[in-house]
Structures are given as structure tokens and as C-alpha cells.
């Protein structure tokens, strides 16, 4: 089976779902190109290998190389959903200890927000604001606006990913679109909103994306600063 690669952004982490074979040749080249492109932008990666059915020596070497590559980029490469067959390969080659692996995507993502064990280095990502919106453009706008003002911002495009980030971090403010805030009848939606109720919540209006960018941005910035004065507001 030829390799299949899909990726999505969850906050400041990119989850790459890999299916098929990681072997020398076109498959390894495709994975390498994917990881090169992603690490250049966001060096915090989760590689989901649950559907990988074969790994040769070259493919294993590639994974080891990118663990180091991510670390050199001040990030981290974590793995999840390793099949028993892949775990056996790592055990036989004595490489299992260097693979930071977790049972699920949620566990791997959450690990980025935990401090290192035994006083080791931390990979914790700063989170002042969590924005959950179905529009990638709105996410990028909010992230850029608030990051420029000195806030640590994470974004997600759906409620399940938003729930992972909400549970893993301690945002001071949750920004979400009106449709997500009104979501009922789904476990993720109800749980997300229940937890969000314990935080300060800013709901974006249904026409937020069509409002004047400068005016809408200033209003949002004022709302956030009213809850958590940012560095630029203090200066």
C-alpha cells in the first residue's frame, strides 16, 4: 500500500496521520518532504502511525533523524497509536526509549503542555487565549492579532480538537464562534461548552468575518485586554 499522509493544525501542534508503508523510495521521500515543510513552520509534531503496516530500516532511520531534527528546531516529534508490530520493531532495535509515544492523539497533544519529568526540559506551550472557529482565515486573523499584542494564542477548527486543547491548557480566555457556542447534542460540544463556562468566554458574532477588519480587531483586542492586560497594554 502506497503511503498516505494527511495533516491538520491543533493549536501550535501539527498532527500528521500516516497510513501504508514507510520504506525506502517514494514513500520515505514523501514523508520526508511533508515533515520538512511542517517543521519549517511549526516544529511541534505528532505522527499518528496507527495505520502503518510496515517499516523498513530506512524508514526507521528517517523517523529517528526527524526526532533530532525537531529537537534542533526547538520543537518535539511525538508518536501515537503505534501498532504492536511497530512496537516490536522498536523493541528489537532497542530504539523504543527514544520514541516518545502515546496511545492516542489526545494524549500526545496533551503531553506538549506538561512539564518534563524529573526537572528536565519543558515543552510546555504558553496559552493565554484559546480560539475555536470553523474558519481557518478567522483563526489566522485572531492568532496574528493577539500574538502581535503579546498574548500566547492557540487555535482549533473544530470542537473535538478544541476540547483537547481546553483540557490540556489553562487559557485565561476562550474565544469561539457563535455556532460552536450554541452546539448541543454532541458529546464534544456539550463537554467543551461546560468547561468553557468555567473560563471567560468571548463569542464572535455570526458576521465577524465580514466586519471591518480594523474595527473588529480593536473591539476583540479591547475585550481580551479587559480580562488579561497584555504586555503592550501594560507598557
What φ, ψ does residue 49 adopt, rounded to 5°? Answer: -110, 20
Q: pLDDT tens digits for the chain (235 residues)? A: 689 999 999 998 999 999 999 999 999 999 999 999 999 888 999 999 999 989 999 999 999 999 999 999 999 999 999 999 899 999 998 999 999 999 999 999 999 987 543 333 344 567 899 999 999 889 989 989 998 889 999 999 999 999 999 999 889 999 999 989 888 778 888 999 999 999 999 999 989 988 888 899 999 999 999 999 755 443 3
What φ, ψ does residue 134 adopt, rounded to 5°? Answer: -75, -15
* Cβ–Cβ < 8 Å for 19, 31: no
pLDDT for the residue numbered 23: 92
* DSSP 8-state code for residue 53: E
Cell 466586519: give the residue: 211
Tell me: domain 129-229, CATH 3.40.50.2300, correct?
Answer: yes
pLDDT for the residue numbered 231: 57
Residue 192 cell numbers, joined: 467543551
pLDDT for the residue numbered 230: 57
Which of 145, 177, 141 is closest to 158 using CA atoms? 177
pLDDT for the residue numbered 124: 53
In a 3-state reduction of DSSP, which class is residue 40?
A: helix
Beta strands per DSSP E along 44-177: 44-55, 76-80, 101-102, 129-132, 153-156, 173-177
Q: Write down the domain spans for the chain.
A: 4-119, 129-229
Number of CB atoms found within 10 A of residue 59's CB:
21
* H-only helix segments in 122-235: 136-148, 159-168, 178-181, 187-196, 213-227, 231-234
Domain 4-119 adopts which CATH fold? Transcription Regulator spoIIAA (3.30.750)
pLDDT for the residue numbered 235: 36
* 4-119 and 129-229: identical CATH topology: no
Burial class (CB in 10 A: 0-12, 13-18, 19+), 229: exposed
Number of CB atoms found within 10 A of residue 69's CB:
18
pLDDT for the residue numbered 121: 38
Amino acid at each position: 500500500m502506497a503511503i498516505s499522509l494527511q495533516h491538520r493544525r491543533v493549536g501550535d501542534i501539527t498532527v500528521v496521520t500516516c497510513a501504508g508503508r514507510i520504506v525506502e523510495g517514494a514513500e520515505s521521500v514523501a514523508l520526508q518532504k511533508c515533515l520538512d515543510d511542517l517543521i519549517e513552520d511549526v516544529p511541534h509534531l505528532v505522527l499518528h502511525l496507527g495505520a502503518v503496516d510496515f517499516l523498513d530500516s530506512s524508514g526507521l532511520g528517517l523517523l529517528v533523524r526527524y526526532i533530532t531534527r525537531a529537537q534542533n528546531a526547538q520543537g518535539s516529534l511525538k508518536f501515537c497509536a503505534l501498532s504492536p508490530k511497530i512496537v516490536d520493531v522498536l523493541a528489537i532495535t532497542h530504539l523504543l526509549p527514544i520514541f516518545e509515544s502515546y496511545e492516542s492523539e489526545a494524549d500526545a497533544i496533551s503531553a506538549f503542555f506538561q512539564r518534563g519529568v524529573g526537572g528536565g526540559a519543558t515543552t510546555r506551550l504558553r496559552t493565554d487565549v484559546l480560539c475555536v472557529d470553523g474558519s481557518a482565515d478567522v483563526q489566522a486573523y485572531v492568532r496574528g492579532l493577539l500574538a502581535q499584542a503579546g498574548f500566547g494564542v492557540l487555535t482549533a477548527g473544530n470542537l473535538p480538537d478544541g476540547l483537547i486543547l481546553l483540557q490540556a491548557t489553562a487559557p485565561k480566555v476562550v474565544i469561539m464562534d457563535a455556532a460552536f457556542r450554541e452546539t448541543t447534542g454532541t458529546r464534544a460540544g456539550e463537554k467543551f461548552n461546560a468547561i468553557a463556562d468555567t473560563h471567560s468566554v468571548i463569542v464572535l458574532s455570526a458576521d465577524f468575518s465580514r466586519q471591518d477588519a480594523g474595527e473588529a480587531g480593536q473591539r476583540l483586542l479591547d475585550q481580551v485586554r479587559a480580562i488579561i492586560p497584555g504586555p503592550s497594554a501594560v507598557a
